[in-house]
A = this chain, B = another copy of it.
Amino acid sequence: MLHRAVAARAGLECVPVGVDDDGMRVELLPDMDAGAVLVTPAHQSPTGAVLAPERRRSLLAWAERASAVVIEDDYDAEFRYDREPVGPLQGLAPERVVYCGSASKTLAPAMRLGWLVLPDALADAVAGEKALDDMGSPVLEQLALADFLEAGELDRHLRRMRPRYRARRVALVEALARELPEVELAGVAAGLAVVALLPRGSDERALATAAAQRGVAVHPLGFSRFDPASGPPGLVLGYASMPEPALARGVAEVAAAWRELQSARAA
């Protein structure tokens, strides 16, 4: 939702592209007359689908034919728990892909540090816009991050955090299976959030509101859709910042909210 608001503020018109278990439905692009496409190929946000190999190839072929730009938001590619992360698209077509990385998931969103790898043709224009926007990012964080990377500390941090996040994911998934057997999980074992699909006809917003009243923050899945009602209802549950017992308690609260809503509906 935020991405769409940012694009609209920049004067762009957004059009949605469907997503299935193999990621974005790339075959829909040729009919769309789009100049750019935003993708999260390593881990579709929020469903968690990985862009299938043949779709990666046809996405880049389309971009080449259409002289379009592929914006690859590699927002949490570092967190894949079942196998090695997929490599970025950018390396396959550096003149067609704008790669966006960030320290927000690997270190802390409070740092507000990100980076772009740009096609040569765009580098000067983007640097110019950035200068007009903020005259550059804070220098201390950049130096600290460069030092952290050079010393190999980011790799060490990721090796330390992957099993920790995996354990949190497992705890969340187990708690959902126990407390809310009605939900179905989407996506691969990756990232820092779980998508829990609710039974058809459920009111995801009412559930998120009721959970918030019990002190638990979850996001209605529809917030991530162009048309919120265009797919099954669900919740996005982040688990990065909480230890396992807190996650179990959080799920118990969501389940209690769910049962309350069910009773109210039945009444």
State how many copies of this chain the complex holds: 2
Task: For the complex formed, measure the closest distance between the CB of A111 and the CB atoms of chain B, giving whole angstroms.
Answer: 6
Is A135 close to B, CB under 8 A? Answer: yes
Is A28 close to B, CB under 8 A? Answer: no
Task: For the complex formed, measure the closest distance between the CB of A248 and the CB atoms of chain B, giving whole angstroms.
Answer: 29
Task: For the complex formed, measure the closest distance between the CB of A27 and the CB atoms of chain B, giving whole angstroms.
Answer: 32
A6 to B6, CA, bound (A): 18
A253 to B128, CA, bound (A): 32
Is A137 close to B, CB under 8 A? Answer: yes
Interface string of A106-150 (1 = CB under 8 A from B): 000011110000000000000001001111111111000000000
A137 to B111, CA, bound (A): 8
A141 to B110, CA, bound (A): 10
Task: For the complex formed, measure the closest distance between the CB of A204 and the CB atoms of chain B, giving whole angstroms.
Answer: 24
Task: For the complex formed, measure the closest distance between the CB of A164 and the CB atoms of chain B, giving whole angstroms.
Answer: 22
Contact of A138 among B2, B6, B9, B112 (CB under 8 A): B112
Q: Is the CB of B132 within 8 A of A6?
A: yes
A112 to B136, CA, bound (A): 8
Contacts of A133 on B, CB cut-off 8 Å?
133
Task: For the complex formed, measure the closest distance between the CB of A145 and the CB atoms of chain B, giving whole angstroms.
Answer: 12
Q: Is the CB of B134 within 8 A of A134?
A: yes
Knowing that A6-B132, A110-B139 are A-B contacts, what are 4 other residue pairs whose CB atoms are under 8 Å apart, sorted by A's residue number? A111-B139, A112-B134, A113-B138, A133-B133
